[in-house]
Chain A
Amino acid sequence: MAVARMLPELIRSLFQRPATIRYPLERVPAPKGLRGKPVCDYSLCTGCRMCSRDCPAAAIEMRDTGERTPRPVFHYDRCAFCGQCADTCPKKAISLTSDYELSAFSKDDLVSLERRHGESAAG
């Protein structure tokens, strides 16, 4: 039985960088495949409502956007980021971006806006 068995480790740690990251100042890139903010490409969407039906958090509202069928609108305050909508979508119109910084001052800001094919996924 040894006293201070961890001493070498402690001394080594004195000369190492802290394990924590000073987050807003320093950032680690989001891992590939992170389940972040879901977005829908309205040009592929057929308005079949399957995503809205399968969503476990009831976060997808089908809204009339002036097209022939309603389009999904995501409520990110309710979203559980499980990605079932992307799995369910028969047209692969929904995808999960790596955007995870979603804080907002109002719930009204946490509703997805229309996005066309080819537009940037972030923001």
Chain B
Amino acid sequence: MSDMEIPVGPQHPALKEPESFRFELEGEIVKSVDIRLGYVHRGIERACQDRTWIQAVYLIERICGICSHSHTTCFCQAVEDIAGLEVPRRARYIRSLIGEMERIHSHLLWLGLAGHEVGFDTLFMYAWRDREVILDALEAISGNRVNYGMNTIGGVRRDLSDRDVEELRSAIRILEERAGYYTDIALEESTFRGRLEGVGKITKQQAIDLGTVGPTARAAGVNVDLRRDDPYAAYGEIPFNVVTAEDGDLLAAAQVRLGEIRESIRIMKYILDNLPDGPIAVKAPRRIPPGEACSRYEAPRGEDIHYVRSSGGDKPDRVKVRAPTLANLNAVAESMKGVRVADIPIIIAGIDPCFSCTDRLVRLQDRTSGRVEVLRWQDLSRRYRR
């Protein structure tokens, strides 16, 4: 039996984002995988340095279409830390509320995609239909379905009215029933179980060694959650459980995410019942004093890290983003070993990857000589323009 190499991507491997996977096969079994990043590097970190602090918030929001609130919260927390701003309590509660709504819509999106990748399109349709409930609620509160624009440096931009709270409560009632239903399906539906059980497995030790984060780590039994371990926003005051599973396969990942939807609903209910009164933002200066800060946030996909440095001007000196997908890609490479070709899409989709958020640099390397070059934009276009 001869070895064979197949490329998956860079055009749309499993999902609608570019990334290149090269699989080395022995028959139908994957021996190893080479992952190449950088196809959708957008230069957002550098672009932030040319924008004022307030403009940078909107650019940061566009790092990710799904976890836009995660990135802005993380960035704003870092800037508030440097500037020494005390975010009002009501603003911290609203940040947590939007964060949990975002988690629900992100996990429902994943559930639908997972259903699609295993050929269970009925689940895809139903999960995405019910996702509209939370997207409509987000639109009513923030004015947009994605890129909510809720965060600003020093607090949030929009307050919750009594009518918003009532509408949100009725949305929660629908979601609660549907989340319970999907949990039953993931546990009982034999077609779904059959495709996920034992697929893409990593052990707890591997999950720790490879530095996995978020639901991928929790599915393997690693009990980490920044909302509990390093509370930000209002999480220090909100009771909730961290959902974990033991098996480390994709069924466990589905169980963790579905459990998290139910926990998020509990958190939302608590926030709506205990929403403090008061202002929603403090005034932020246009020039942020010199300093640096690192901020962490438990995004739906895992730990999101932002590093921000200011030299005292009206623009950031440096912004560095570590999106959770980067931490989880090693686990994908590891769990690919020994699986069948047919399981490749669902394993890639299993970590809920967000490749555009992950790409931070492009490195030009000659494949034969291994020589690495640094090219200016002009050189690049001169050499490769057709």
A1-B188, A35-B149 known; A87 and B193 CB under 8 Å? no
Q: With a CB–CB cut-off of 8 A, which chain A residues contact B46?
A: none
A82 to chain B, nearest CB (A): 5
The A interface is mostly helix, strand or loop, or mixed, namely: loop
Which residues of chain A have C-beta atoms less than 8 A from B147's C-beta? 80, 82
A81 with B144, Cβ < 8 A, contacts A19-B132, A33-B158, A35-B149 known: yes
| Residues in chain B near residue A9, CB distance under 8 A | 126, 181
Q: For A87, list chain B residues within 8 Å (CB).
A: 152, 157
Q: How far is the CB of A90 from chain B (nearest CB, A)?
A: 13
Q: Across the interface, do A6 and B122 meet the contact criterion of CB distance under 8 Å?
A: yes
Bound CA span A32–B149, Å = 16
Instruction: Indicate if the CB atoms of A31 and B188 lie closer than 8 Å.
Output: no
- Number of residue pairs spanning A and B whose beta carbons lie under 8 angstroms apart: 68
Given contacts A19-B132, A31-B139, A31-B140, contact A1 B122 (CB under 8 A): no
Chain A 35-46, CB-CB to B under 8 Å as 1, else 0, gives 100000000000
| Interface residue ranges of A50-108 to B (CB < 8 Å) | 53-57, 80-84, 87, 96
Q: Considering the chains assembled together, what is the distance between the CA atoms of A34 and B54 in angstroms?
A: 21
Given contacts A19-B129, A54-B55, contact A6 B189 (CB under 8 A): yes
Can you spell out 14 A-B residue pairs with CB atoms less than 8 angstroms apart? A1-B190, A3-B190, A5-B188, A5-B189, A6-B123, A6-B126, A31-B143, A54-B52, A54-B54, A80-B58, A82-B147, A83-B143, A83-B149, A96-B143
Interface residues of A, Cβ cutoff 8 Å to B: 1-3, 5-6, 9-10, 19, 31-35, 53-57, 80-84, 87, 96
Residues of B within 8 A of A (CB): 51-52, 54-59, 61, 122-123, 126, 129, 132, 136, 139-144, 147, 149, 152, 157-158, 181, 184-185, 188-190, 193
- The 8 A-B pairs with the shortest beta carbon distances in the complex, nearest first, are A35-B143, A56-B55, A56-B58, A5-B189, A31-B140, A19-B129, A82-B149, A33-B143
